[in-house]
Structure 1
Amino acid sequence: MGKGKIKKVFPGGNTSQGFYSYYHYMIAPNATRIFCIKGGPGVGKSTFMKYISEKMVDLGYDVEQHCCSSDNNSLDGVVIPAIGVALLDGTAPHVVDPKNPGAVDEIIHLGDYWNEDKLRQNKELILKANARVGRLFKIAYNQLNEAKAIKAELDSYYAEAMNMGGVNSIIHNIAESILGDIIRDHKLQFEKEADDRHLFATAFTPKGQAHFLETILDGVTKLYFITGEASAIGSHVIGTIAQAMHIHGLNTEVYHCAFEPTAVDLVVIPNLKLAILKEIPGIDIKLQGVPGLDKVIIKDLNQFLDQSVLAVYEEEIKSARDRFGLAIQRATSYIAAAKAEHDVMEEYYIPAMDFNAINAKRELILKRILKYAEEFK
C-alpha cells in the first residue's frame, strides 16, 4: 500500500461577513469517531493533528487537512474519510461540542497537561493579548465589509453590461452536457438523497490570499473553467450548476468564495471526476499541474459583455478596483497583526505545557484510530 494523498481545504474563513464557518460539513454526524480537541493557543492542537495526519498518509490513507485561515501553518482539523474519523480544533472561533457524546464524539482536553500556576502568573498579559486579537480581527472584518460595498458597486457595472441570456445558455449547455453523458452512458445511478458538502477552497490569511486548489482538483479528469471579468456572475454560473446537479441526485462538493461566503467558486462532482471552476480574482492556479486532469473546457463570459456600456464607466471601474484592492490589503494587514498578537499569547502557554504527556496521549489516540481502521479491512 503506497502513501495516501492529502487534500487541503478551509472549513472557515475571514470574510466580509466576519468569521464564517462551514465546520459542520467537515464530517457527517454519524462518523466512526470525532475527537474535539480543546485547549489554549500554543498547547499543541495543530501539531497533534498534523502528526496523526502524517502517520495515516504514510500508511496509505487519503487524508483531508482542514487548514486555518488565520494561521498559515496551523490546522483546524484532520479528516480520514475512508474510516470516518476526524480530529477537530474545538476552540474559538470555531467552537465544536459533541453532538453524540461517547457514541461518536469525545473531547480531548489539552488543558489537562498545563501548569495552572504558570498561566495564572501571566493572567493579565493573556487577557490583554486576547482582547487585542479580538479587536484586530474586528478591524479586519470592518475592512472586508467596506470592500464588500465597493465590490457591489463594481459588480453593478458588469451586471448592466452583461447579456444574461448568453450566460444562461452556458449554464444550460454545461448542465445538459453533464446530465446527458450520465443518461447516455448509464455509468452512474442518481442518488435518492444526494449529499452536498460545503467548504472553502481559498482564504484570506496573514500571508494574503491562499489556496490549495491543486489538491482539491486532484483526481478530476474533466474541468469546465469559467473565465471573465464579471466575478459575481461567474459565481452565479457555478452556484446554479451546483444546485442543479444536487437536485438531479448527484453528490456535490461546493467550495465557497473566501470574500462572499455564500457565493460559489467551485463545485466538484466526485463520482464523475468532474468540476466547474470560475476564475478567482487574486488566485493564480496552474491547471497543467493538476494530476490526472486531461480535459479543460473554457467558457469565457466576456463574450457577453457590452463593451460600449463598460466604456461609459471606465473611470468608475478603475476607481472601484483600486479602492477594493486597498481595502483588501488593509484587511490582510490586520489579520497578520492579529496572528502576531496571537503568537505573543502562545508564548505564555508554551512554557506551561507538559508536551511529553501530550505526545503520550497522541500515541494513544493514534492506536485507537488504527484500531478503527482495522474494522474497515
Structure 2
Amino acid sequence: MDGTSPHLVDPKNPGAVDEILNLGDFWDEGGIREKRDEILAVNKEISRLFKHAYTYLAAAKAFLDEVETFYTESGAFSPGAFDRMALELTREIFTGKSRQTDAPKARHLFATAITPDGLVSHLETIVGHLEKRYIIEGDDGTGKTVLVRRLMETALTRGYNVTAFHCALNPKEIEHLVIHDLSLAIINSVEPHFYQPQAGDVVANTMDCVAPVTSAEYLAERDTARGLYRQCMEQAVAFIGRAKKQHDLLEQYYVPYMDFDGINQMRDKTLHSILALLENNKEK
C-alpha cells in the first residue's frame, strides 16, 4: 500500500509482518533540493485546492442529506410497506438456500470514486458476470441503502460471505452487495451509477413505499437541495482536477532525479518475495 501523504500508514509489526519500501533511497537529494522553493510552492497549492474540495464535498453531503429527509418529513414514506418489501426480497433470495459457513466474512470496498475526471464507477466489472442481480430503484431518501444493509446482515446471519461496496461520498452507507456463493448482487441504482437491468434481473422500486407528494413547497425544497448538491459536487471535482494538475507538475520536479533502474530492481525483488510467500502458504 501507498503510505505517503495524505494516507499515511505506520507499520504495526515492522520486520516481522510489515516491510517498508523506501523509494527515497532512489532519488538524488542534491538535485531535488535545487527545486526546493518550487516544490514547497506546489505542495502548498495542492493543500489549498484539496481543502476547498473537501469543503465542497462536505457541503454536497449536507445537501444530499436534506434531499433524503424529504419523504420522511413530508410523511410520504411508509415504513410498513418498506418492511414488507424487505421481507419479500429476503424470502426470494434466501428461501431454500443452504447455509455456507459458520464464520461468514464481509469484505468492504468501493465501486465508485470521486476523481479528477468526475464520478467514476466500476460497477459493471463487479456485477456484470454474476448470474443474477437485484436492482433497487427509487429516489434518494426512500430506503435503498437501508435495504441493501438489511440484506447484507441477513446474508451474514445465514452464513454467506459478502462484499459490501460503500458510498464514496458517505462511506457509512452501503450501496451495493455481492453474495458470492449465490452469484448475485444487490445494486442501488442511483445517480451517478444508474444500472440498466439485464435479462433475468429483478427490479424493486422503493417508490412503491412512498405516497404521492402534492405540496409544492416540499417539492421545491427537495429540488433546491438536489440542485445545490450537484453544484457542490461539480465544484469539488473541479478543485480535485486542479489539484491533480498541480500534482503532475510536482512529479516533474522529481522525475529527472530518480533512479528508475534501481526502483525496477526493487519491484522485481518485491514481486519475487510475494510469489515465494504465496507458494509457501499453498504448501501449508
What's 1:107 paired with? 20
Structure showing the higher strand proportion among its residues: 1
Name the CA distance, whole Å, in 1 between partners of 2:51 and 2:153.
33
1:331 to 213, 225, 236: 236
1:144 to 54, 57, 60: 57
What's 1:368 paired with? 273
1:279 to 171, 184, 189: 189
- The one-letter amino acid paired with 2:186 is I
Q: SS at the partner of 2:69? A: helix
CA contact (8 A) 1:126 1:345 kept: yes
Q: Which has the higher contact order (CA 8 A, sep 6+)?
A: 2
Once the two structures are TM-superposed, the CA of residue 373 in structure 1 deviates from its matched residue by 4.0
- CA change 1:309–1:244 in 2 (3 A) is farther
CA contact (8 A) 1:196 1:254 kept: yes
CA contact (8 A) 2:102 2:159 kept: yes
Give the TM-score, by structure 2 length.
Answer: 0.91
**Identity between Structure 1 and Structure 2 (%):** 35
Name the CA distance, whole Å, in 2 between partners of 1:232 and 1:131.
42
Q: SS at the partner of 1:89? A: coil
What's 1:342 paired with? 247
Is 1:260 the counterpart of 2:170? The answer is yes
Name the CA distance, whole Å, in 2 between partners of 1:216 and 1:360.
33
Once the two structures are TM-superposed, the CA of residue 283 in structure 1 deviates from its matched residue by 2.0
Name the CA distance, whole Å, in 1 between partners of 2:204 and 2:196.
17
CA contact (8 A) 1:251 1:271 kept: yes
Name the CA distance, whole Å, in 1 between partners of 2:267 and 2:44.
31
- The one-letter amino acid paired with 1:316 is E
Q: SS at the partner of 1:140? A: helix
The gaps in structure 2 that reach 5 residues or longer are none
Q: SS at the partner of 2:9? A: coil
Is 1:89 the counterpart of 2:2? The answer is yes
Once the two structures are TM-superposed, the CA of residue 313 in structure 1 deviates from its matched residue by 2.1
CA contact (8 A) 1:133 1:341 kept: yes
What's 1:162 paired with? 77
Q: Which structure has the bigger radius of gyration? A: 2
Is 1:131 the counterpart of 2:44? The answer is yes
- CA change 1:111–1:318 in 2 (3 A) is same
Name the CA distance, whole Å, in 1 between partners of 2:86 and 2:215.
23
1:355 to 253, 260, 263: 260
CA contact (8 A) 1:231 1:280 kept: no
2:86 to 171, 189, 192: 171
What CA deviation, in whole Å up to 9, does each residue of 1:131-160 have, x standing for no partner?
Answer: 221221111111111122212221111223
Once the two structures are TM-superposed, the CA of residue 310 in structure 1 deviates from its matched residue by 5.9
CA contact (8 A) 2:123 2:193 kept: no
- The one-letter amino acid paired with 2:160 is L
What CA deviation, in whole Å up to 9, does each residue of 1:255-285 have, x standing for no partner?
Answer: 1111111011001111221211111212244
The count of corresponding residues between Structure 1 and Structure 2 is: 280
